Structure 1
């Protein structure tokens, strides 16, 4: 199979969908690999690294989209990329379709088979291709939140760990999954007073048993959320419903109850955001003010640490990528129901229920998509 990796064109996105090591593995499986010139530079990989791995270098994305059978990326395809997708082509990348009707319609119209990293599962019900970026984003969230809290950036001017005689920042993490756990660990490590909110008693019990007194936990009732949010210097939104739009946990009306200059860090912005006043931003212009509350809503947070993120993502995606290339999407998905869970669009039909529910689009079940070929 011909695997193609274009350069990411989303603003301030420095990751790349294929590492030289992954290219070498694919070539060893007798696949042809083509990478767009300069695609890896943002992550510290030169064209020569890919050539040494046996890959070819294409002058532009158009060449890759026109010739490759399988397109591997990091971020959702931008409009100019979606226009180049074709019938029968396989797209393997993050999609986050639920809050993005335009992309969804374009992918359906393309006729391509689109497999989303964020909905591929594992045997324990986890999300193995989302997890590495969730880990990165979770660890970044307190760092960028601390920067947002600085007075020069519009924040409260509160130091995360305080100093002797002055208390630390109060940080509330909404969601105790992968993002929330890593965010809480780092925020607590910076010396902040941290509380994690979650609706799963089992998850709260796990966090308490694992981390002890490093940070506190509370049940995520509306009352507890409102009470802790009003006391917080920083709120990190880390709630995920796989493949679906994120729930809105802090309303615009609630902003008046928050401390002036408090920082909201919305890690769920790729799925529409979990604060009502969230809107996507970029690393170039990451924060904005709504009613005196500072919002950090960068939609590709891991892109800020592109080398770490690219390698971590590549380690996770490689086995699935090789399966798709070795067997074709149909056989690979027939043999691996976890990979089938990643199927979001196929041959002009939407195939992921949560996206269809969010956007009001009829859905073809993935099992029927397999039968139709």
Structure 2
């Protein structure tokens, strides 16, 4: 198969979908890999390294899209890329369709095959291609939150871990999945007073067992969220419903009760955000303020640490990329239920129900296309 590796062009997105090692693995299986010039530079990988791995460098993104049967990316195509996508071309990347109707409509119109990292799902309901970036984003959320709590950046001027004789900051984490767990670990490690909420009692029992003593577990209800938010210095939004829009747990009306200079970090922004006042921001302009509360809503947080993120992502995606290249998307998805759940759009039809429901668009079961 001919595989294309374009350079990411989303604002301040420095990740790349495959390391040179990943390219070498595809070449070993007999596939041809075309890499856009400088695609890996932001992550610390040179064109020479891709060439040594067996890849072929092409100067422009147009050439990569034009020749490739499968495009492997990190982030969804942005508007300038829509016209480059071809019918029957397989795109394997993070899409997060349910939060972006123009992207959904463009990919339906392209008649391409869109296989989304974030909805590839194992039998135990875990999301193997979301895990590595969720780990990065959860840990980064605390780093960024701690930073924006500093007074020169508009925050309350509170040190996350406090010092002897001074109470630490209060951190509220909404969601006990991978992002929330990693955020709680990081915040606890820095000495913060942490509360983590989830709607699953078994999950809360598990988190209570594994997390440090300075982390409290609380059932997630509207009342509990409202009361905890009033006292929080830093709130992390870490709620995910696979393939669907995240629910708004911190509402616009709640902001008036939050502490002035409190910080909200919405890691769920890719899926529409679990903070009602959230809107996607960039690493270039990461924050905005509403009612004296700082909102940090960068939609590609792991892009700020691209070396770590690219290695972590390739570790997770490469086995699936090789399977798709070896068998073609149809046979691979027929044989592998995990990959089959990643299919979101096929030849002009939405085949993932949550995406169709998000925009009241027509839905066609994936089985009709395999």
Which of the five TM-score ranges fits, normalised by the shorter chain? over 0.9
TM-score normalized by structure 1?
Answer: 0.98
Whole-angstrom distance in 1 between the partners of 2:115 and 2:366: 11
Counterpart position of 1:318: 318
Kindly provide the CA deviation profile for residues 305-342 of structure 1, in whole angstroms up to 9, marking residues without a partner as x: 10000000001000100111000000000000110000
- Specify every segment of 5 or more residues in structure 2 that has no aligned partner in the other structure, as ranges: none
Whole-angstrom distance in 1 between the partners of 2:172 and 2:214: 13
- Specify every segment of 5 or more residues in structure 1 that has no aligned partner in the other structure, as ranges: none
How many Å apart are 1:88 and its aligned residue?
Answer: 0.8
How many Å apart are 1:21 and its aligned residue?
Answer: 0.5
Alignment RMSD? 0.7
- Given that residues 188 and 212 in structure 2 are in contact (C-alpha distance below 8 angstroms), is that contact kept between their aligned partners in structure 1? no
Counterpart position of 1:124: 124
Counterpart position of 1:74: 74
Counterpart position of 1:250: 250
Whole-angstrom distance in 1 between the partners of 2:359 and 2:98: 7
Whole-angstrom distance in 2 between the partners of 1:268 and 1:147: 19
How many Å apart are 1:210 and its aligned residue?
Answer: 1.7
Q: Secondary structure at the match of 1:181?
A: helix
Counterpart position of 2:275: 275
Whole-angstrom distance in 2 between the partners of 1:138 and 1:238: 8
Counterpart position of 1:146: 146
- Given that residues 192 and 214 in structure 2 are in contact (C-alpha distance below 8 angstroms), is that contact kept between their aligned partners in structure 1? no
Counting matched residue pairs gives 370
Matches within 5 A, 1:116-195: 116-195=116-195
Match status 1:51 vs 2:59: no
Q: Secondary structure at the match of 1:129?
A: coil
Counterpart position of 1:115: 115
Matches within 5 A, 1:10-29: 10-29=10-29
Whole-angstrom distance in 2 between the partners of 1:66 and 1:247: 38
Matches within 5 A, 1:234-313: 234-313=234-313
- Given that residues 7 and 16 in structure 2 are in contact (C-alpha distance below 8 angstroms), is that contact kept between their aligned partners in structure 1? yes
- Given that residues 185 and 214 in structure 1 are in contact (C-alpha distance below 8 angstroms), is that contact kept between their aligned partners in structure 2? no
How many Å apart are 1:212 and its aligned residue?
Answer: 4.9
Whole-angstrom distance in 1 between the partners of 2:319 and 2:6: 20
Instruction: Name segments (4+ residues, structure 1) moved above 2 Å.
Output: none
